[in-house]
Amino acid sequence: MRFANVVRLLAIFVVLVGGLAWSGTASAQVAVEFSVGFAPPELPVYEQPICPGEGYMWTPGYWAWDDDDQDYYWVPGTWVEAPQVGYLWTPGYWGWGGEAYVFHVGYWGPVVGFYGGIDYGWGYTGRGYYGGRWDHDHFYYNREVNRIDERQVRNVYNERVENHYNVTRVSYNGPNGVNARPTPQEEAAARERHIGPVATQNQHIQAARGNPELRASANRGKPPIAATARPAAFSGGGVVPAKAGGNYNPPANRGGNNANRGGNAANRPTNESRPANENRSVNENNRPADNRASNNPNRPPSANNRPEANSSRPTYSHSTDLPKHSAPQAEGNSNQKYQQQQEKLAQKQNQDHAKLQQRQEQEHQRVTQQNAPPQRQQQMEQRHQQQTQQLEQKHEQQQQKVQQRAEPKQQAPPRQQSQEKKPPH
């Protein structure tokens, strides 16, 4: 059985119902993004960065899943501007779905819904949110649970918060985790109008996904960037490291070990745990560490041998699923011109990702605010999937052209003169 499957639902408001041993954990959330065969690490202990200004809401950090690397990675907690007045953040959470751990995506709405009973801290005690409240068009911060500089934020109050519900660092709902079910009010919150993660949050997630230090296999559950003052700002004074982390003991064949990634087949998913791919151009046991089809450093990989050109390439449903493009690592005697072309192409393709993601997120928000019927939502998701796949196919063709231009052209063999004597005229 494969450890992870991307399970993006076509409709934003489709709510999972019944049939699960922990049906309550699934029925009150908006969308499902990933399912994984083993539990995420415990939540790390960290300090909250000081709020950067009025209107920012605290969104707690969580463990996300990278299906490409078969590894969890930490998405740092951060301050995010609310998309509109009166909206609060309901964090996403992992819950047991009967056969795997399923991640339920967070959302913005007028009421905080169910987030698995997970004690994320800083006002998120497992039920509701005690870090602040709206008063007309101003948000007031509870100084008891937030780090506030009153020179920048004047809308404050003091209210002691005692967590009588759940005091644990466990990061998932289900067996051996948090035992919580949604209240009727929390279930109703999921059915009300709401907005998914905004563009700055998606950029924050992608930045975390692209940072090797945030992978659980690298930090062992203690991320060096546990929280940031602003989304995707992973350097500077607003970055806070984890004080403590939990043990991370993934299955031996779960893959995603960055220290051995690419060259050690023993640390990659077994054939039983990964999609069948009969057309792989390289023997996995002999695969070079840099994924090249040849050991010649001056020769780029052949387009025919690229994994992306394989008929078993992954299918992406949304622009946020797309992996970040990067140029192959340069070597001392590599083709410098080819390297520059690859870097320029990767930069341009990542810009294409960002533009498409922004367009799709804007359409998501419009459809959500208009309370569009499910049929229209489904049509939008299908359109987004088609746009995403077309863009990645375009990028794949661009990559192949760059490689083909860089490959040395084969010269035709010299013509041999015939040994036969021609008869005289």
pLDDT at 124: 94
Which residues, listed in sequence order, are joined to residue 96 by a DSSP beta bridge? Answer: 101
Local confidence pLDDT in tens for the 425 residues of the chain: 344 443 433 333 333 333 333 333 333 444 565 678 899 999 999 999 999 999 999 999 999 999 888 899 999 999 999 999 999 999 999 999 888 999 999 999 999 999 999 999 999 999 999 999 999 899 999 999 999 998 889 999 999 887 544 567 899 999 889 989 999 999 998 888 889 999 999 999 999 999 999 999 999 999 999 999 999 999 988 899 999 887 787 877 664 333 333 333 333 333 333 334 333 333 333 333 333 333 443 333 433 333 333 334 455 556 666 777 777 666 655 677 777 888 888 888 888 888 888 888 788 777 777 766 666 766 777 788 778 878 887 888 888 887 777 765 545 555 555 444 455 54
- For residue 62, the SS3 value is strand
Residue 272: exposure state from Cβ atoms within 10 A (0-12, 13-18, ≥19): exposed
pTM of the predicted model over 0.85: no
| Calpha distance 236→41 (Å, rounded) | 27
| Calpha distance 86→55 (Å, rounded) | 10
DSSP-assigned letters across all residues of 123-142: TB-SSS--SEEEETTEEEEE
Domain ranges of the chain: 4-228, 309-325+337-394
DSSP 229: S
DSSP-assigned letters across all residues of 232-288: T--SSTT-B--SB-------TTS---GGGTTT-GGGSPPGGGS---TT-SS-GGG--
Q: Which two tokens stand for residue 295?
A: 């050991």
Q: Which two tokens stand for residue 302?
A: 């052949």
Which residues, listed in sequence order, are joined to residue 62 by a DSSP beta bridge? Answer: 75
pLDDT at 163: 58
Nearest CA-CA partner of 223 in 238, 237, 234: 234
